Amino acid sequence: MADESPTLDLLERLAAASDRMTIDALSRQIGLPEPLLRLRLAKLVARGWVDADAEGMSYAIGVAALRPISAYLSADRTARLAGPILNRLRDQLDETIRLVRLDGPEVVCLASREAPDDTAGPMVGRRFPAITAASGRAILAARDPAEVEAIITAGVEAITSDSVVERAELYAALADCRERGVAYERGELVPGVGCLAAAVHVDGLPVTDAISCGVPLARLTPDHADDIAAGLRRAADEIAIALLG
């Protein structure tokens, strides 16, 4: 049986890329010679998993990649039950609300309910470093300390000039989350945008999910932050109760 790892690596690279990728860039990153790479790309393009430009010189993830995402979300009980709760919180706060899940050292967005003035665009499927994202911190604050230590020891990359990377500060942020029940980050992932998040705690189960709310710092006043924090905690409790039902 042929080794499918390079094909999976190829799809993952394209899915993570912020723009189209050239043959040269893909060849270097995947480690495949160009003729073999073109052959694999041609097969993926033919089945819709990859999109090629007219000249066949640059590539992006294709529309067929939505199929497994849709299937996963349709089968995921948390995403289904959280939907109406996310809708209500979005309407109450007039802010974008997202459901995220821990996946290794990252969090991935499972669902998003955008506010009318949201400018971030579609986020479902997007990944962020768990230790930097407020949603990731909310989850990690309830996880095994050894797991957190492994993530920090592996190295924390600064995403913006405001990103916290020092071990003591990261642990302080997690401790603050455990005390408040809500995690905060201000401009650490997106300049000028703050985020609050609350983890979903289901009795007897490890914490894997959180709901978050991102707001431009210009209007994230202390009162508004308090309202968001209270709303996130209530919504996270509602999701946990629904999951136990």
Among the listed residues 187, 212, 207, 202, the one whose alpha carbon sits nearest the alpha carbon of residue 135: 212
CA atoms within a 13 Å half-sphere pointing along the CA-CB vector of 64: 10
pLDDT of 8 over the 90 cut: no
Distance CA 142, CA 206 (A): 8
* pLDDT, tens digit (0-9, with 9 covering 90-100), for 25-46: 988 888 888 888 889 999 999 9
pTM: 0.80
Q: Do the strands 97-103 and 58-61 form a parallel or antiparallel pair, or are they unpaired?
A: unpaired
* pLDDT, tens digit (0-9, with 9 covering 90-100), for 145-166: 999 999 999 989 999 999 999 9
Phi/psi at 108 (5° precision): -125, 135
Distance CA 212, CA 18 (A): 22
If phi > 0 it is left, if psi is from -120 to 50 it is alpha, else beta; for residue 105 that is: alpha
pLDDT of 1 over the 50 cut: no
For each of the domains in the chain, give its residue range(s) and CATH number, in order of start: 5-66 (1.10.10.10), 76-244 (3.30.450.40)
